[in-house]
Chains A and B, each alone.
Chain A
Amino acid sequence: MIPTELAGLSLNPVTDFEAMTEFPFMVNALWAGTIVAVLAGAIGWFMVLRRQTFAGHSLAMIAFPGAAAAALAGLPLAVGFFGACGLGALGLATVSRPGGAGSGAAAESAAIGTLQALALGLGFLFVNLYNGQLANLESLLFGTFLGITTGQVQTLLWVAVAALLVLAAIGRPLLFASLDGEVARAVGVPTRLLGAAFLLLLGLAVAATAQITGALLVFALLVTPAATAQQLTARPGLGLALSVLLALLVTWVGLTIAYFSPYPVGFWVTTFAFGLYVVVRVGAEAARRWAPRAGTATVGAGVV
Chain B
Amino acid sequence: MWTNTRDYRITMKKGSKLFNSISSILLLMVVLLAWYLISAFEVFPAYAFPSPASVFEAFKEELTEGRLINDIIASLWRVGIGFVLSTILAVPIGLWLGSHLNARQALVPMFNFFRFLSPLAWIPFAILWFHIGDKPAIFLIFMATFFPMVLATMVAVAGIPSIYFRVARDYNYKGIDLLTNVTFPAVLPQIITALRVSYGIAWVVIVAAEMVGCQDGLGYGIWEARNGLRLDSATCYMIVIGSLGMGIDRLMAQLTKLPGVRWGYER
A binds B: no
B residues engaging A (CB < 8 A)?
Answer: none
